[in-house]
């Protein structure tokens, strides 16, 4: 069975998240998006944990089910901040539990290291090495994945506080972590160039339940049955890992270098010419993912290892509609009206973005060929994106009202999505 999963989301108890997040709202928009599995988010937070245990029923296979039959897996994210090798480190990791008993043991362990009630993504002063060692001692069925692995401040490979290899980070625990999460500013094609031993997954890190956040990045599993073990086996071995859905890397908030406060952005080439110094304030630029990839890469751009999984590059549908209407307000009534009409016709957002035929889209949109063309360009990974930098999202870079074709080659991506969901 093919399942599109988002296994990195947050509750309303995490910092900078929507206060409207509930398990019910996450399920509602996951269904609309076309997702078939979610992480529970923040399971160690005391209040959220109570809501999980009240609302969801766990089966014998480690899957938690809502009353209306939507599946979740125990999931949380923790922040580890410490010193190693004479440098301050800050790394976010995702943690998954096979059942309630193990989830409670993880909670007891984390509670011994610090407070759990102040943030859905708590901070601990232990190293990744020690966290992996201790969690695996609780149960080898616990899965640990590096979150948004390339972001400057909290990615394991990040330019500000990361490492040059997983071995450098994990030491003798390196064989106990099997996957990294690409994050919005990177994609599998960039990470393959490192020639490290890991599988690549992709999740949204959603801080709200809205469909332009949840599922914006996701992982496709093809497993015989939905069980915790089958999902984690796919992540560990690649067997059953069918691919990922990615936003274009340039769409992410840390793809290029720059200074948000200065309104300055630069490509890796320009950054090198500037010796890494912002020409506006004279301080060091925040080095983004594109630059960092080139620092760590051992293979040329375009390298594809044997057994590499396909990935599909998509901008969320709300972004396309808002661009088409000339508004930056994704939640406007006009954007929602078009979005809801398309969902009513095609069922889910992924059906629209991945599979809906061009003539059927045209009919549903009453001949709005400009928007149809945007959707098709998006599907073909041909939407040019002005890169994001230093916390600023990238944005579609077509002249307003002129979606006839890209003005440059796409950054990276895959084609050939016809019949994806069929």
Domains belonging to the chain, first-starting first, are 2-251 (3.20.20.140), 316-396 (no CATH)
Residue 152 has pLDDT above 50, yes or no: yes
| pLDDT (average), residues 304-331 | 96
Look up the pTM and report it: 0.94
Q: Give me the pLDDT at residue 343, please.
A: 98
Average pLDDT, rounded, for the chain: 94
Over residues 251-262, the pLDDT tens digits come to 999 999 999 999
Rounded to whole angstroms, the Cα distance separating 154 from 91 reads: 5
Q: What is the dihedral angle through the alpha carbons of 150, 413, 244, 68, rounded to the nearest 10 degrees?
A: 110
Over residues 79-96, the pLDDT tens digits come to 999 999 999 999 999 999
Over residues 158-210, the pLDDT tens digits come to 999 999 999 999 999 999 999 999 999 999 999 999 999 999 999 999 999 99
Q: Which burial class, exposed, middle or buried, applies to 255 when counting CB atoms under 10 A from its CB (0-12, 13-18, 19+)?
A: buried
Q: Give me the pLDDT at residue 398, please.
A: 84
Residue 413 has pLDDT above 70, yes or no: no
* Coil/strand/helix, residue 243: strand
* Coil/strand/helix, residue 336: helix
Q: What sign has the CA pseudo-torsion 244, 248, 252, 257?
A: positive
Q: Judging by DSSP bridges, how do beta strands 2-6 and 179-181 pair with one another?
A: unpaired
* Banded pLDDT at 144 (limits 50, 70, 90): very high
Residue 109: its H or E element: helix 100-111
Positions of E strands within 148-255: 179-181, 199-201, 218-222, 241-246
Rounded to whole angstroms, the Cα distance separating 395 from 397 reads: 6
């Amino acid at each position: 069975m093919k399942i599109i999963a988002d296994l990195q989301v947050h509750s309303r108890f995490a910092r900078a998240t929507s206060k409207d997040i509930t398990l019910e709202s996450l399920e509602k928009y996951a269904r609309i998006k076309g997702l078939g599995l979610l992480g529970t988010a923040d399971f160690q937070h005391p209040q959220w944990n109570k809501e999980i245990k009240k609302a969801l029923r766990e089966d014998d296979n480690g899957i938690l089910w809502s009353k209306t039959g939507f599946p979740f897996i125990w999931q949380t994210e923790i922040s580890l901040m410490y010193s190693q090798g004479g440098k301050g480190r800050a790394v976010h990791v995702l943690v998954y539990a096979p059942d309630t008993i193990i989830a409670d043991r993880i909670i007891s362990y984390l509670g011994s290291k610090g407070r759990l009630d102040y943030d859905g993504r708590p901070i601990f002063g232990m190293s990744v090495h020690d966290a992996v060692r201790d969690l695996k001692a609780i149960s080898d069925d616990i899965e640990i994945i590096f979150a948004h692995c390339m972001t400057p401040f909290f990615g394991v490979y990040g330019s500000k506080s990361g490492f040059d290899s997983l071995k450098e980070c994990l030491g003798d625990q390196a064989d106990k972590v099997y996957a990294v999460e690409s994050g919005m500013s990177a994609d599998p094609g960039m990470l393959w160039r490192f020639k490290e031993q890991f599988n690549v997954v992709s999740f949204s890190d959603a801080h709200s339940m809205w469909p332009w956040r949840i599922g914006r990045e996701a992982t496709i599993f093809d497993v015989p049955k939905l069980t915790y073990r089958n999902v984690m086996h796919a992540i560990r071995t690649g067997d059953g890992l069918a691919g990922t859905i990615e936003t274009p890397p340039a769409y992410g908030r840390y793809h290029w270098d720059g200074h948000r406060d200065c309104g300055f952005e630069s490509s890796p080439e320009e950054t090198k010419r500037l010796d890494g110094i912002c020409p506006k304030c004279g301080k060091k630029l925040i080095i983004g993912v594109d630059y960092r990839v080139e620092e760590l890469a051992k293979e040329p751009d375009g390298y594809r290892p044997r057994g590499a999984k396909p990935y599909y590059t998509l901008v969320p549908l709300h972004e396309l509609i808002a661009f088409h209407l000339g508004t930056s307000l994704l939640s406007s009534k006009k954007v929602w009206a078009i979005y809801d009409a398309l969902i009513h016709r095609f069922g889910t957002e992924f059906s629209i973005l991945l599979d809906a035929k061009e003539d059927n889209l045209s009919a549903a949109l009453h001949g709005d060929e400009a928007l149809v063309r945007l959707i098709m360009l998006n599907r073909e990974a041909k939407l040019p994106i002005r890169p994001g930098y230093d916390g600023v999202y990238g944005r579609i870079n077509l002249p307003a009202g002129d979606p006839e074709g890209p003005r440059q080659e796409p950054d990276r991506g895959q084609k050939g999505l016809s019949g994806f969901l069929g």
